[in-house]
Structure 1
Amino acid sequence: MGVKFDRLCYGGDYNPDQWLECPEILEEDIRLMKKAHVNTVSLGIFAWAKLEPEEGVYDFEWMEKIINHLYENGIYVFLATPSGARPHWLADRYPEVLRVNEMRQKNIFGQRHNHCYTSPIYRQKVRQINMKLAERFGDHPGVLMWHISNEYGGECHCPLCQSAFRGWLKKKYNNDIKEVNRKWNTAFWSHDYQNFDQIESPTPLGETSIHGLVLDWKRFVSDQTIDFCKAEIQALRDAGNHKPVTTNLMYNFSTINYHEMAKVLDVVSWDNYPQWHKGPERLVAMDNGMQHDIMRTLKKEPFILMESCPGPTNWQSVSKLKRPGMLETASLQAVAHGSDSVMYFQIRKGRGGFEKFHGALIDHYGKEDERTYQECKEVGADLEQIDELKHANVKADVAVIYDWENRWAVEEAQGPRNKGMFYKETVEKHYYAFRKLGLNVDLPDMTQDLDGYKIVVAPMLYMFRAGFEEKVRKFVENGGTFIMTYWSGVVDENDLCVLGGTPGGLMDVMGLRSTEIDALYDGETNVVKAVVGDVSYQCERFCQLVDVKTAEPLFVYGEDFYAGTPAMTVNEFGKGKAYYICADAEQKFFDNVYEEIVTKAGVERPLKQPVPEGIEVCTRQSKDAEYVFIQNFNKVSTAFKPELDGAEVLFGEVTGEMKPFSTIILKR
């Protein structure tokens, strides 16, 4: 197990640097936080200008007073390094720190993350202030953990980054430009490079057609960002501090390979802003749950929910209020999926700036007789009631592969659809089907092991890398159930097409060869029909055609020139089974087919009884107990009474129906 705090952490981002001229407000904040059961705050995230108002002139007195006062009142701190937004003097004196966009235009001062991760000056200045903070506060008993920067992201195309990119390529390709040309297939359009100095990052002004270049640039940007994070952490370590570190990751964020980022962190944390009430809450909950599970799978350990919104999220297209009960249910959903915290952005609303209308524990009104404050207070009490399940982990028998590099390649492939490959949405269909059965689901990438799973699904795994084919072969041979879909095993890690048949390296395991793929126009559909029984489902977007060898067809197409040909197959290989799903079928197909596969694979469901639509079931396990979370994401009361089977009710009420946005937690 990774980092363990002695509580379920509850609180959020606190920005006292915006209120230093109002000591009475800072005092009132402490009172209101304590009354709401807040025990942890993130501090100093965007405070660089207050911590170092002039170059080399540090003012830490105000922060020390705040940390001391919080600690005296039982509130602990995740202390941030302030690199997310640099002060004006830094950009003025060292303009090289400002980013250059893909059009080769240099930014002026402003915004967040407007800095070059390669710049030696920026790295030096960040190192200096990080070391000063570590020396001053690293041993403070009120500091639990380091919050490194904030929401890393973006890319820079400045000359420093161009040079660093070429150096990265030289290292990867052993300083052999001919190897680069081979791996990137630059013979296409006569784009061979004679030397590394000719290589530029992808830009609409120049090269975007070499997919190997585009893919390696994305890898470089990810690696360079992670390297910057490592440098920030190293500064703390060099200052003699070894408290755990995290950085807050983001929803559906594709720029950084989070599996690699997680390797430099002691604990994963992330920022969660679902658009509740925009659509059916059950669908928002599924999407949100998948993101929680992605974050948990990065280390397969409990994570930290670093930011969520107690009220309206001001930067979304519509700043929607949360219905009564939604905040509690959303907060407990994070805990159900493996979070050991519920943290908000923000503790107190700022008076001005971009996020002055963003939801907060404490409103501009500043009093406790406010609906959001009262709901936050209730969540704090909830977490104290269920504190015993902190550190309990989530064990999953099912894995759905979700791979960052594969996504990069899919979205740049130029076929079979250039408008909408829907990689994330494809993964979601499979994930949702298992979650509707109440099963925990991991979402590993291709670098992670498959050991310990009973079922592994690989949706639209266009690129094979990291020896994935051999992992699959071993998994199936040893008795695992493996499911692969259309448009898989098409290219290698350099985005070069596999020769000799696809899915590359797994044709014998799957018992077939993929031959052609028909991309459907928007609104165009086909039908997949069961070989046995009168069951059919609609499909859209993709229809893979296959040449069956040893596999057995389970479904066939119902329309077009390939009507009657296989649309889903199963192949016995070693002790296991390998299924191939050829079409992008409707959700109901996956729901029904996977229920049958789960039964055949011997995967046990946490609740044996049928669960109504809109009710989500998750489990966490400690050494001594299993905790079953049952949550109603329907806007109306839903008839459902979970069978206790000897379990005790730790939280909520079992009455025969579940109120809208309510939660039951069983302990057994």
Structure 2
Amino acid sequence: MEYKKINMPGLLHGGDYNPEQWLDRPDILEEDIRLMKLAHVNNVSLGIFSWAFLEPEEGKYQFDYLEEIINRLYDNGIYTNLATPTGAMPNWMTQKYPEVMQTDENGIQNLPGKRHNFCYTSAVMREKTRKLDLKLSERFGKHPGVILWHISNEYGGNFRDASCHCEECQKAFRKWLKKKYKTLDALNHAWWSAFWSHTYTDWEQIHSPSPRGEDELHGLKLDWKRFVSEQLQDFCREEIRAVKTYSDLPVTTNMMMYFSPLDYDKWAEELDVISWDSYPSWHTKEDEVPIAVWAAFMHNQMRGFQKKPFLMMESTPSLVNWDEENNVKRPGMNYLSSMQAIALGSNSVLYFQWRKSRGSSEKFHGAVVDHDASEKNRVFQEVAWIGKDLEKLSSQILSTCNRAKVAIIMDWENWWALSDAQAISRKFDYTEELLKYYRVFWEKGIEVDIISMDRELLDYQLVVAPTLYLHKKEYIHKVEAYVEAGGIYVTTYWSGVVNETDLCFIGERPHERLLGLSVDEIDVGNEYFPNTFSYKDGVYKAGVLREVVTLQTAKPLGTYLQDYNVNTPAITENAYGKGKAYYVAVQPDLEFLKEFLGDVIEEANVEANLTETLPYGVTVSKRSGKEQKDDVYFLQNFNRHPVKMVLNECYTNLITDEILTGSIILQTYQCIVMQKK
């Protein structure tokens, strides 16, 4: 796909702006522009929740106020991401057309209110959306101040499973299934519906999963999740088609953190620019490293969708209002977390929100301009500091992007299947497993792409696929070709168990030939049956998941030391063509992964961004330029205290122009942006 580029005025700095809340105060718009200049803001998102203002009555459109605001911003050097306002519906819509509201899994229709409370299949909702989007496109599609279409806002948000179970959606689901399976015989086999004698004999018998009915057929549940993601994606596609009618501006929609209902990897194919909303829970653990790893993983995933820079569309400059405990970012953390995004491929630092609301549910959510409306408070001053530095860095950074030689496989369909497995442990968390493996690379300062099973592997020197329970049909052939050509592949316990319709493989699992072994069984250990395993000269604690494997062509690198599986392989290696495939049969701790993956990284000849030893809590990211001299390094200290490190080479601090070499001190929450001298 040919992606359209944004007309960037520099690294974007700004955020969500909601002037509709202040239309009775024209003085506030003027004050906001003054403050935006002080904060070095060059970009805002407008129109996100504006439907009731843009179309106060059905078919009556009023855009003059919006155009006036866009014009005033543009005259002052501030560009607009213009949103389609489908994130929340006006009350006239739900009153006149109640069928547009979602129906939950129990068959109960929602009442008006909240966000994304619409049926994505509804013909009425789609038509009303299309008409409004067309009008916006016609009016603003060629405005010089508008640089990006912001399609809706956090699709699926608020109602966390994103799905509607109304009769219109049931009909669309059955149509979707007919297209996929063609016959009921094929569907019944794929879903294994003979279990409990639930064979379908008529398409009309099929209903979405519900606690009041069928919710034990895993194939049904998996296909329903696919349908929901694809149907909402189709709604987004129609919005994109509408805004592009009179405009050739690029489009994005803001994705969310670890949002299971929508297969973002497939959504990425529709978008010119990837964007997401980043809200890590800083200061909520013993140290900041686990949260820093969590945020970095998400940034890597967003960049990995298209292997190009993305936008951090939302973040908070201070605090959120929806967590269990809403603590503020400590001094320096907003700067560090913003620079972390830039370091990992973002071309923006954008906030929710510019000015705090006076009322409703987000009146205490963080903002650049607080209720005191002052530019002198700490948060505003730190935002201005970031904006000033982004202006200085733009010329060096905009032409760069991170280039990873390591990929970690994270696949939505695998995630969905694992969540329904009803096996091993209900405490098992797929994302936590991924983060554990990812953290090793983060601590070493190695770039990583997070990709799905559908992506190409040949660009990578090392591919890691933790708990890849579901194997898509062509995936193993792709992996075999990758390893045979010289790639290094690592996979783990509880992988290759089911196919694309969530049926268990019978006989040999698809990856066992590549791995040179067979999996006999998997156990869930506990405190009454402790176990350990060996690797090289070390002994490591076995986690709760422990597989028993039989070797064919593989050789053991470590064995269990206790319990009934004593002396059986826990870690294996198998040569395959020019490459190697490793298998981790036991759920390990981080200590083992650092040792093991350290060896694999060395064998795969993967280079860290810096040759220097990184202290705990310090990492480095590299945005690569066209030439090596253009590479930009981001040295980040996530410790709550200063740390000392030694630089082996000479660097220039791109903010202060200071020369850095030898022993340096990284201050608390400091990020140094530098180039080799």
TM-score by length of 1: 0.97
Structure 1 525/629 Cα, relative in aligned 2: closer, same or farther at 3 Å?
farther
Confirm whether residue 411 of structure 1 aligns to residue 419 of structure 2: yes
| Partner amino acid, structure 2, of 1:247 | T
Q: Secondary structure at the match of 2:519?
A: strand
Confirm whether residue 632 of structure 1 aligns to residue 637 of structure 2: yes
In the TM superposition, residue 247 of structure 1 has moved relative to its aligned partner by 0.3
Q: Structure 1 residue runs of 4+, over 6 Å off?
A: none
| Partner amino acid, structure 1, of 2:227 | F
| Partner amino acid, structure 2, of 1:140 | H
Aligned positions of 1:5-44 closer than 5 A: 5-44=8-47
1:101-145 deviations in Å (ceiling 9; x for gaps): 001001111101111000000000000110111111111000000
| Partner amino acid, structure 1, of 2:514 | V
> Which of the residues 174, 177, 186 maps onto 1:169?
177
In the TM superposition, residue 420 of structure 1 has moved relative to its aligned partner by 1.7
In the TM superposition, residue 293 of structure 1 has moved relative to its aligned partner by 0.7
Q: Secondary structure at the match of 1:7?
A: coil
In the TM superposition, residue 642 of structure 1 has moved relative to its aligned partner by 2.5
State how far apart, in whole Å, the 1-side matches of 2:399 and 2:390 are.
13
Q: Paired residue for 1:642?
A: 647
Aligned positions of 1:70-85 closer than 5 A: 70-85=73-88
Contact 2:440-2:594 within 8 A present in 1 as well: yes
Q: Paired residue for 2:373?
A: 366
Q: Secondary structure at the match of 1:642?
A: strand
Q: Paired residue for 2:506?
A: 499
Q: Paired residue for 1:567?
A: 570
Q: Paired residue for 1:263?
A: 269
Aligned positions of 1:193-232 closer than 5 A: 193-232=200-239
State how far apart, in whole Å, the 2-side matches of 1:6 and 1:266 are.
17
Higher deviation after alignment, 621-630 or 565-574: 621-630
State how far apart, in whole Å, the 1-side matches of 2:473 and 2:411 are.
11
Contact 2:14-2:354 within 8 A present in 1 as well: yes
Q: Paired residue for 1:508?
A: 513
1:54-105 deviations in Å (ceiling 9; x for gaps): 1111111110110000000000000000001000000000000001000100
Structure 1 522/373 Cα, relative in aligned 2: closer, same or farther at 3 Å?
farther
Q: Paired residue for 1:538?
A: 541
Contact 1:11-1:347 within 8 A present in 2 as well: yes
1:361-409 deviations in Å (ceiling 9; x for gaps): 1111111111100000001011112112114111111111000000000
In the TM superposition, residue 549 of structure 1 has moved relative to its aligned partner by 0.8
Q: Secondary structure at the match of 2:648?
A: coil
Q: Paired residue for 1:606?
A: 609
Structure 1 631/61 Cα, relative in aligned 2: closer, same or farther at 3 Å?
same
State how far apart, in whole Å, the 2-side matches of 1:132 and 1:173 are.
39
Aligned positions of 1:338-487 closer than 5 A: 338-388=345-395, 389-417=397-425, 419-487=426-494
Contact 1:615-1:632 within 8 A present in 2 as well: yes
Q: Paired residue for 2:248?
A: 242
Q: Secondary structure at the match of 1:263?
A: helix
> Which of the residues 502, 513, 526 maps onto 2:531?
526
1:223-258 deviations in Å (ceiling 9; x for gaps): 0010000010111123x2121000000001000000
Q: Secondary structure at the match of 1:183?
A: helix
| Partner amino acid, structure 2, of 1:642 | L
| Partner amino acid, structure 2, of 1:407 | W
| Partner amino acid, structure 1, of 2:674 | L
Confirm whether residue 58 of structure 1 aligns to residue 61 of structure 2: yes
Contact 2:81-2:150 within 8 A present in 1 as well: yes
Higher deviation after alignment, 179-188 or 513-522: 513-522
| Partner amino acid, structure 2, of 1:259 | D
State how far apart, in whole Å, the 1-side matches of 2:443 and 2:528 are.
27
State how far apart, in whole Å, the 1-side matches of 2:441 and 2:85 are.
41
Contact 1:302-1:391 within 8 A present in 2 as well: no
Unaligned 5+ segments in structure 2 are 157-161
1:328-360 deviations in Å (ceiling 9; x for gaps): 000000001100000000000010011001111
Q: Secondary structure at the match of 2:654?
A: strand
Q: Secondary structure at the match of 1:585?
A: coil
Contact 1:102-1:202 within 8 A present in 2 as well: yes
Contact 1:102-1:203 within 8 A present in 2 as well: yes
State how far apart, in whole Å, the 2-side matches of 1:335 and 1:74 are.
22
Contact 2:609-2:622 within 8 A present in 1 as well: yes
Higher deviation after alignment, 635-644 or 99-108: 635-644
In the TM superposition, residue 457 of structure 1 has moved relative to its aligned partner by 0.7
Q: Paired residue for 2:622?
A: 619
Contact 2:530-2:562 within 8 A present in 1 as well: no
Confirm whether residue 306 of structure 1 aligns to residue 313 of structure 2: yes
1:179-222 deviations in Å (ceiling 9; x for gaps): 10011111111110001110000000000111100000000000
Contact 1:38-1:75 within 8 A present in 2 as well: yes
Confirm whether residue 108 of structure 1 aligns to residue 123 of structure 2: no
In the TM superposition, residue 522 of structure 1 has moved relative to its aligned partner by 7.2
In the TM superposition, residue 525 of structure 1 has moved relative to its aligned partner by 4.2
| Partner amino acid, structure 2, of 1:166 | R
Higher deviation after alignment, 506-515 or 112-121: 506-515
Contact 2:296-2:340 within 8 A present in 1 as well: yes
State how far apart, in whole Å, the 1-side matches of 2:296 and 2:617 are.
13
| Partner amino acid, structure 1, of 2:164 | C
Q: Secondary structure at the match of 2:531?
A: strand
Contact 1:305-1:339 within 8 A present in 2 as well: yes
Contact 2:343-2:623 within 8 A present in 1 as well: yes
| Partner amino acid, structure 2, of 1:402 | M
Q: Secondary structure at the match of 1:372?
A: helix
Q: Secondary structure at the match of 2:214?
A: coil
In the TM superposition, residue 638 of structure 1 has moved relative to its aligned partner by 0.5
Contact 1:476-1:575 within 8 A present in 2 as well: yes
Confirm whether residue 661 of structure 1 aligns to residue 660 of structure 2: no
Confirm whether residue 333 of structure 1 aligns to residue 336 of structure 2: no
State how far apart, in whole Å, the 2-side matches of 1:217 and 1:599 are.
43
| Partner amino acid, structure 2, of 1:486 | Y
Backbone CA RMSD of aligned residues: 1.2
Structure 1 523/229 Cα, relative in aligned 2: closer, same or farther at 3 Å?
farther
Contact 2:54-2:63 within 8 A present in 1 as well: yes
Contact 1:447-1:466 within 8 A present in 2 as well: no
Q: Paired residue for 1:152?
A: 155
1:261-304 deviations in Å (ceiling 9; x for gaps): 11111000000111100011111101110011111111111000
Q: Secondary structure at the match of 2:229?
A: helix
Q: Secondary structure at the match of 2:534?
A: strand
State how far apart, in whole Å, the 2-side matches of 1:265 and 1:661 are.
34
How many percent of aligned residue pairs carry the same amino acid?
46
> Which of the residues 331, 340, 355 maps onto 1:324?
331
Q: Paired residue for 2:159?
A: none
Q: Paired residue for 2:593?
A: 590
In the TM superposition, residue 481 of structure 1 has moved relative to its aligned partner by 0.6
Contact 2:4-2:249 within 8 A present in 1 as well: no
State how far apart, in whole Å, the 1-side matches of 2:582 and 2:226 are.
31
User: How many correspondences in the alignment?
Assistant: 660
